Amino acid sequence: MSSVIAYTNHSDPLPARAVRLAAALEEWPRRTITLSEVWDVYATADPASAMRPTRRAELATTLEALIAARLITCSRTRDTSATPALPTRLTLPSAQPSPTAAALARTIAWRPELAWATSARLTLGQVEVLRAVNVWLRDRGRDDDNAPLRERSLEVFGYEKRLDTLLGTSLFAPDRLSLTLLRTFRSRPPLSTRRVGDGPVMLVVENADTFDTLSRVLTDAPCEVGWIAWGAGAAFEASVASIADLTEVRHVAYFGDIDADGLRIPTSASATAARDELPPVRPATGLYQLLLQAGVPQPGQPRLSQDKAAELTSWLGEPHASQSAALLTRGCRLAQETVGKRLLLTAPQWRDGLHWPTP
């Protein structure tokens, strides 16, 4: 396997270290990156360099290679605290298919399962992902063992959460990568549930204290809620799959904080439920209404754009979506702990949305 590729419009080779750094920089969340941040990314892309006395000179050479390949541009100001001088800031292009990545893909002897990589429009980062898969298929491709997603991710990429970030990308598509090819599967994290009645509805609550309060109230005064579950924050995005084991559940109502994370979680879980043909995840409308009426906005959150706020709150439906979006654009949130036992006992309308909707 070749360790170098040709620069775009240049004849000199691009070293493997430069390819790794370019691939890592593609995942940087901003278009600019400071030198101190470059050092952190470089440590990930080339961890063996940490103990080498020539590390600074190697980084300088690597950056020069990326500049020559037009994969980065750099500021005119230099850090002269040591030799050689290094640019204090880099500007990165947006991650997109490039001739450099295509050239690299053509140097690799792909396994038959990845032969499509030679003609696909890929970024350098995607080529590096496929290279890791290629090595795994070569070394372990004939094994017949299946492993949970994060175990396989650690084995293939050295990082257990790498596959989580890749599943929604163009690398996973028909005739490309698949869970079957990698002989892996999404495990179903356990969902902490408590039986509180005989109804077909499950109420999922984001935070532990509100889960405890609603458990006690629903046990004392049952309705159509048969189960109450503690979503454990973002864990519900994965543990929603465990509802498949509760065959008596026909409808899932969710109640969480009104903030960016609190709304992203049920939106993601709802999409998973739809994809896996599970009972739909809908908002517990009465509880959200009570939270919006009684909650005191807490400032200090990032101010979201109107488009982003509308995207996050759309799962709530109107009028709660517009009311919640107004909070997010002001940088405010509402904590679900507002809906305590005293409030629940004095406002029975909170049970709206906790019934099994009939067709």
pLDDT in tens, 273-296: 998 899 999 999 999 999 999 999
> How many angstroms separate the CA atoms of 137 and 245, rounded?
33
Tell me: pLDDT of 14 over 80. Answer: no
**What is the residue whose two structure tokens read 């920089």?**
25
Q: What is the pLDDT of residue 10?
A: 40
DSSP 250: -
| pLDDT tens-digit series, residues 294-325 | 999 999 888 999 999 999 999 999 999 999 99
The pLDDT, as a whole number, for residue 45 is 81
Write down the mean pLDDT value for the chain.
Answer: 87
Does the global pTM surpass 0.75?
no
**Residues 42-63, mean pLDDT to the nearest whole number:** 87
Q: How far is CA 346 from CA 217, 350, 353, in A?
A: 12, 10, 17
Burial of 274 (0-12, 13-18, 19+ CB in 10 A): exposed
CATH of domain 192-351: 3.40.1360.10
> DSSP 3-state assignment of 254?
strand
Q: What's the confidence (pLDDT) of residue 61? A: 92
* Overall average pLDDT of the 53-57 stretch: 92
Task: Judge whether residue 226 has pLDDT over 90.
Answer: yes
2 pLDDT above the threshold of 50: no
- Long-range (24+ apart) CB contacts under 8 A made by 305-313 are 305/329, 312/260, 312/263, 312/264, 312/267, 313/263
Domain positions in the chain: 5-91, 101-185, 192-351
